[in-house]
Structures are given as structure tokens and as C-alpha cells.
Amino acid sequence: MQLCLSPHAQIDKIMKYYFKIFFFIIITGLFAGVLVCQAEYDYIDINNPFLRKIPIAIPFFKSIGDGPEAAKASVAGSDLLSETLEFTGYFKMLDRGAFLSDSQSSLIAPKINFRNWTFIKAELLITGGILIKNNVVEMELRLFDTFKERLLIGKRYKGWKKDQRKIIRRFCDEVVYHLTGKHGIFSTKLAFVSDSTGNKEIYICDFDGHDPKRFTHNKTITLFPAWSSSGKQLAYTSFIRGKPDLFIKNINKKRGFRLVKKGIQIAPAWVPGKYMLSATLSFSGDQEIYLLTGEGKIINRLTKSRGIDVDATWSPDGKKMAFVSKRSGTPQIYIKEIASDRVSRLTYDGRYNTQPSWSPHGDKIAYSAMSGTQINIIVIDIKSGKLLKLTDGQGDNESPTWSPDSSLIAFSSTREGQSKIYVMTMYGTDQRRLFTMAGEQTDPAWSPGFANK
Amino acid sequence: MKRRLWISLALLLIIPGLLLTVSCAKKAVQSESEVIQPEEKDNSEAEEAARQVEIDRQTEIDRQAEIDRQEEIERDRKLEEERLQAQSLRAEEANREMMVARNMFINEDIHFDFDSAIILFSAQDLLKEKARWLEENSDVTIIIEGHCDERGTSAYNLALGDRRAESVKTFLIDLGIASSRLTTISYGEERPVDDASTEEAWAKNRRAHLIIE
């Protein structure tokens, strides 16, 4: 069997290599012969991009080639594109039933009757063509401004059929980058904790909940996944040795480091741009936050107050650390400036504020606030101290984590009974469950933005 | 049966006695007058009866002594048996008490207020009892587990559970227990004893639980 397969595998390998290069060339170059405009005005309001969603029409892709497989691929591809873009919260997906024109016939600019689209209030239009042949998929995708009657982006892709999702996500990233000036989140991942096996273990899924895979096999309580800023390591706490110990694991090779100290070792948080992380350790008898190397060696102690200091999160420049301290009697969030050692209190509202998460944009911190018996997610503007309550009256909402573009927040909620992972925009709109999985899911951690590969 | 045995035993003694008396009397008859012979014969008969009574009495005494001795042995045996029984009962009792004390030591948790690791006044007696038990069982080392209720967030609760376990450890050290015998582990909110979301369940779950290593 092995011998029979190996030539195929070799050919596959060569083909793959060839396609990779081909793929790269195609996407780096712009679609030939078409004038592409740069964005001349803001499609998306930076101040609140979710206040007014852009109406966008995505008709079914035109399938080049015949047969039921081609038709199926057309529907699946256009649906996936639509769902992926909708996930961002920037767009209002227009109902295909309202489309006037025959979407399958007019996909190229000169032939498109833009008035048919502006009539149904579509401001953007994405057309696509798809060809599937021998496990290889070819796609042409175009974004138009219907009012200006202009092509904004045109791309042609070629890859393995199984990589169709990747291709569509890449085009979505082009679209979002064109409209916002920032790369999207379509190649990011989420780590989270699930007890579906009976033990809390760490899992990793795509940003949209697709393809969850188990990462740890510890058969005991495992908590607090934390991505390094390169996205190559995951730190977490596990009871493998009977108590909460810190582990640092390489995502791919799963090799790693363990911290050997008595007491608890919890809530790791990586310093952006550095191969360093902080964690709360209690070997001294007091729960203090320490700075560690990426190999889990202690560099120094960062907090110096008796009582609980926990839940560190770092400013994107790595110069400040927000954390939870009980120094004033109740758990509140403080900010420490590392260079000056100065500590200032951030939260005054309520008697239980924990789990701060610094937005990658740097100006806001999301956290979990308990009032009564309910926990809700609040975003505080660091400069003004203004609060925005994002969840309310729907169970406990905990563990906020920002998407690397600061546009979305994932969190866990018990609104439907068991704890599940949800996502919402940074303004609390578009709250929805990310995926369905047995058991309870908690502790989501959004990966940093990976290089587009 | 017994009675008949005694009678035959008595007869066995009487008959040779009588024979002896007769032969003696014959000798006397030979040496003394024949007139008094019947009288002498009467006398010897009376003597014989008296002796018989005496013998009977003696036998009876011996018999009684034997019975008493047997009874005493039996009594002693019983006493010894009772003593042993009492001893094992006492040992059992002590064992049971030890088990009760041990179980109490394990099963009775130290409870805390919400978001607090302070040893409550009401928990101090329980901790003193635990310290006494630890003094009496000086070879035992224990693990102090710190737990929280489900409210609050997980990392903070792990830290809080750690503080609760440390509070108990400090209290026991202050009561003279060697710190080398005390290990702490925090489980935060991960291992509730009651899964319900009620005040009652929360109060039960905010605890330090002791385990004998």
C-alpha cells in the first residue's frame, strides 16, 4: 500500500508546491486589465463601524462548468463568503430573493447594470465565478461600488478544492482591508476551555467557531489559555501534577516548559511583541504577579501588595499592565506603568471587577463586572473612564477577549443555560453563539493576527 | 445418679469396716467374759454407725470442697473472659472513637464568607479541634484544599481559594502544628460539593477541606 501510494504522494507534493507559488503570484498581483480604485472616502465609520452597516449584495457565484457539483460549489462558496463577511458586523447582507438582475449572467463590470443593485439599496456588490476540476478550484471574485459603478477589488485564485474556505477568507480580508484600512480577523483562531470529555481541556478553533480541535489531553482541570504574540506558543494552567501549574507549549510541536514552584501558577498573559509573559504565582505565600521568560523562568516580581493580585493584561506597547487587586478591599482593576512603577486604580464602579482584557487598539479595557449575582461585560475607556455595558440580563457573561483588530469581543455566557462561547462587536451589538459543542465552554482567548499565509 | 454413686461409695467403705470390727470383737471375746459380749457387740455397732456418719460427713465436705473449687475455677474463667471481652470492647470503642474523630477531621469543612479568606469566629473551635487531633496523631500530614463558590471569576477564585487554604494553614501553625505537616492546594471554583446555584449551596462550597495524606 505504502509503495503504491508514494508516487502519488510525491506528485501531490510537487503539485502542491507548484500551486502554492501560483497562488502566491496570483494574489499578489491585481486582476489584470481592470482599473482598481483606492478607497476615496470612508465606507466604514471608524468611530462606530457598527452603527450603520453597509448594505452588500452577494449573488450566487457563476459556476463555470456543468453538473450538480458545480452548482453546489457555487451556492456553498457564495454562502460562505456571505457568512464570513457578515461575521465582522460591518455589513448588512441583502436578501437574495430581492435581487432584480439575473445574478448568474452579468458579473463583469461593463455588463453589470448597477442600477439594479442601487435600486435595492446595495452599496457594495460582490460577484464571483467558480470552476472546479479534478480537485482543483479556480475562483474569480470582485468587489464593486454600486453607486460609483466601479470595481474596487478583483482577484483570481487557484488552489485545492479543500482550500476553498481559505481562498474565500483571503478575499474577505482584502475586502475588509480595502474598507477599513485594517486587516481582518479571518486567519485568526480562538483557544478556549471545554469540559466535553468530562475534564476541562483546551481546544482551538477558527475565529468563526469552525473546526474546533482539542489541544490538551491532560485528563484533568486545564484553564487560562494565553497566546504568545507570535501566535506560536500557548501558555495555560493545568492540574496535571495535582495543583495549578503553569505550562508553556509550542502550538505545532507541543514541546514546552513547565514552571516548578509551589503554590498556584495561574492566569498567564504574554507581553505584546516580546517572548515574555506574566502570571500570578503564590510560592511566597502571597498571590503576586511575576514577569517570566518564554521558557517560564522568573525575571522579577511586578506587584508588591499583600493580598490577591491576578488577571494581568498588557497594553499593546507592552509598557503598562492592567491587573486585578484586592488592595482596596474588593477586587478592582489597576494599571501599572512598568518603567515608573506607578500604579493607578481604573475601576471604581461596583464591588467586583475582574478579568481585564486590554484592546489591541490600546484605548479600552474590557472586563467582567459582578453586580448582584450576575456578571456582565463592560468596556471602559482608559482616558475618560467612561463605561459601556455590553451585556445585560442574560446570565453570566465572562472572560472578554478582543479580536486582534479590536472590532469584536468573544466571551463566555450562561444565557442559554450551560456556558458557551459568544461573540459581539466592541459596542455589544450582534451578539451570537459561536458554535455548538457538548458540555460547557469557557475562557476564550483570541489569537493575535497571523501573517496572511 | 450421683446420689446412688455416693451411697455405693459409702457402702464400699462401711463393709470392710464392719469386717474389721468383727475380727477385733472376736479377739476381745476370747480374752473377756462371754456375758458382756452382746453389749460389746452393741457398742461396736454404735461406734461403727458414728464412724460411718463421720466418714459420710468427711466425704460430703470433700465433695463440697471439690464443687467449690470447680465453681471457683469456672468463676475465674468467666471473669477472665469478661475482662478480655471488656478489653476488646474498649479497644473497639477507642478505635471507633478514633475513626469518628478522623472522619470528623476530614468531613467537617471550615466555611468562609463571600470573597473572604478570613477565619470566621464560628470556625475557630472547629479548627482548634482539628489542631488537637493533629497533635494526637503526630505522624499525620495533611493537605488543605481551598474552594470557592461558583460566583466570581475563575482566576480570582483560584487566588481566593489559595488564600483560604493559607489562612487555615496559618491558624493551625499558630496552634502549634508544624508547617511541614501542612500542604495547601487551591481548586478555586472547580470542585463544588453542591452544584446548585443557591445561597445554601454557595455557603457549602466556600470552604477549606482537609485531606489526610
Distance from CA of A298 to the nearest CA of B (A): 19
Residues of chain A found within 8 Å of residue B184, distances taken between Cβ atoms: 263
Dist. CA A242–CA B185, nearest whole Å:
8
Locate the chain A residue with the closest alpha carbon to B160: A308
Residues of chain B found within 8 Å of residue A287, distances taken between Cβ atoms: 159, 162-163
Q: Do residue B153 and residue A266 have CB atoms under 8 angstroms apart?
A: no
Q: Do residue A373 and residue B153 have CB atoms under 8 angstroms apart?
A: no
Tell which of A224, A237, A264, A311 to mutate to test the B interface (max B CBs under 10 Å).
Answer: A264
Distance from CA of B155 to the nearest CA of A (A): 6
- What is the phi-psi region of residue B130: left when phi exceeds 0, alpha when psi lies from -120 to 50, beta otherwise? alpha
- Please name every residue paired with B116 in a beta bridge, in sequence order, or none if there are none: none
**pLDDT class of A46 with cuts at 50, 70, 90:** low
- pLDDT tens, position by position, A386-440: 999 999 999 999 999 999 999 999 999 999 999 999 999 999 999 999 999 999 9
pLDDT value of position A32? 39
Distance from CA of A267 to the nearest CA of B (A): 6
pLDDT value of position A29? 42
Residue B181, C-alpha cell as written in the block: 505537616
A26-180 belongs to CATH 3.40.50.450: no
Residues of chain B found within 8 Å of residue A398, distances taken between Cβ atoms: 153
Place of cell 483588530: A405
pLDDT value of position A2? 38
- What is the phi-psi region of residue A329: left when phi exceeds 0, alpha when psi lies from -120 to 50, beta otherwise? left
Q: Do residue A267 and residue B155 have CB atoms under 8 angstroms apart?
A: yes
Residues of chain A found within 8 Å of residue B187, distances taken between Cβ atoms: 221
Residues of chain A found within 8 Å of residue B163, distances taken between Cβ atoms: 287, 307-308
State percent of chain A over pLDDT 70: 86
What order of strands is seen across the sheet that includes strand A233-238?
A222-227, A233-238, A245-250, A256-258
Residue A145 has pLDDT above 90, yes or no: yes
Q: Is A244 an 8 Å CB contact of chain B?
A: yes
Q: What are phi and psi of B102, to 5 degrees?
A: -65, -45
Q: Is A287 an 8 Å CB contact of chain B?
A: yes
Q: Do residue A308 and residue B163 have CB atoms under 8 angstroms apart?
A: yes
Map residue B165 onto helix, strand or coil. helix
Distance from CA of B103 to the nearest CA of A (A): 23
Taking the CA atoms of residue A162, residue A167, residue A172 and residue A178 in that order, the dihedral angle to the nearest 10 degrees is: 170
In order along its 213 residues, chain B shows pLDDT tens digits of: 556 666 666 656 666 555 555 444 444 444 444 444 555 556 677 888 888 888 888 888 889 999 999 999 999 999 999 999 999 999 998 888 888 888 888 889 999 999 999 999 999 999 999 999 999 999 999 999 999 999 999 999 999 999 999 999 999 999 999 999 999 999 999 999 999 999 999 999 999 999 998
Closest in B151, B158, B163 to A244, CB measured: B158
Report yes or no: A116 and A100 within 8 Å, Cβ to Cβ: yes
Residues of chain A found within 8 Å of residue B149, distances taken between Cβ atoms: none
DSSP line for A155-222: EEEEEEGGGHHHHHHHHHHHHHHHHHSS--STT-EEEEEE-TTSS-EEEEEETTS-S-EE----SS-E
**pLDDT class of A12 with cuts at 50, 70, 90:** low
Q: What is the mean pLDDT of residues A229-237?
A: 95
Report yes or no: A244 and A287 within 8 Å, Cβ to Cβ: no
Residue A67 has pLDDT above 90, yes or no: no
Residues of chain A found within 8 Å of residue B160, distances taken between Cβ atoms: 308
Dist. CA A329–CA A322, nearest whole Å:
18
Q: Is A443 an 8 Å CB contact of chain B?
A: yes
User: Residue A59: CA atoms inside 13 Å, Cβ hemisphere, count?
Assistant: 23
A303-309 long-range CB contacts below 8 Å, 24 or more apart? A303/A336, A307/B163, A308/B156, A308/B159, A308/B160, A308/B163, A309/A280
Q: Which of B127, B142, B143 is nearest to B185 (CA)?
A: B143
Q: Which of B103, B199, B81, B85 is nearest to B151 (CA)?
A: B199
Map residue B13 onto helix, strand or coil. helix
How many residues are recorded in chain A? Answer: 453
Q: In chain B, which ranges are E strands?
A: 110-111, 142-147, 182-188, 207-212
- pLDDT tens, position by position, A159-190: 998 999 999 999 999 999 999 888 889 999 99
Distance from CA of A226 to the nearest CA of B (A): 13
Dist. CA B50–CA A211, nearest whole Å:
121
- pLDDT tens, position by position, A210-230: 999 999 999 999 999 999 999
Report yes or no: A224 and A243 within 8 Å, Cβ to Cβ: no
Angle between helices B124-136 and B37-107 (to 10 degrees): 130
The secondary structure element, H or E, covering residue B4 is helix B2-31
Architecture in CATH of A189-446: 6 Propeller (2.120)
In chain A, domain spans: 26-180, 189-446
